[in-house]
Amino acid sequence: MKKILVLCTGNSCRSQMAEAYLRYFAPERILVYSAGIEAHGLNPRAVTVMQEDGIDISRHSSDTVDTYAQHDFDFVITVCDHAQEHCPIFPGKAQKFHHNFPDPARATGTEPAILQQFRQVRDQVKEYCRQFIKDQLHA
């Protein structure tokens, strides 16, 4: 079983989405966790747009990377440039991957416009996770 850690700045949106999709695409083959450089709490709009896609993240916790500092991971995925720049060195054999997704928490405008930006990021994260599982776990 492969162990994956997904990192972003606040562990409130992008990393939460990625954790859920990675688990969805390979439930029997991985253990996946997410964390942030800081813990901003789970973003309710992220919960909403994930629920629209049939995935419940409402019980996820928002953790800091320090929580997992002593764990041995096979893969560490950073989903924003800030996390990549500030990602601690993990001991062991962890392969690092990076993709800078836009931060939907920074979206402005009307509520429908903000939710649409969350949906766009959700869909980008979903496709990235689908491809990651295919490429790295040959699923």
Report the range of poorest mean pLDDT among 10-14, 20-24, 91-95: 91-95
CA distances from 93 to 32, 50, 78, 102, 106 (A): 16, 31, 16, 28, 34
Q: What integer is the mean pLDDT of 72-96?
A: 81
Give the chain's mean pLDDT. 92
- Whether 80 sits among the annotated catalytic residues: the reply is yes
CATH number for 26: 3.40.50.2300
Residue type, 10: G
Residues 72 and 3 sit within 8 Å (Cβ to Cβ): yes
Q: Which entry of 80, 94, 125, 129 is annotated as an active-site residue?
A: 80
Q: What integer is the mean pLDDT of 111-138?
A: 96
The Cα 126–Cα 123 span in angstroms is 5
Domain that holds residue 56: 2-137
- Whether 13 sits among the annotated catalytic residues: the reply is no
Q: What integer is the mean pLDDT of 111-120?
A: 97
Q: Which entry of 31, 39, 55, 87 is annotated as an active-site residue?
A: 87
- Residue 70 has a pLDDT of 83
Provide the domain count of the chain: 1
Q: What integer is the mean pLDDT of 12-33?
A: 95
Q: Which entry of 8, 57, 79, 121 is annotated as an active-site residue?
A: 8
Q: What integer is the mean pLDDT of 16-32?
A: 95
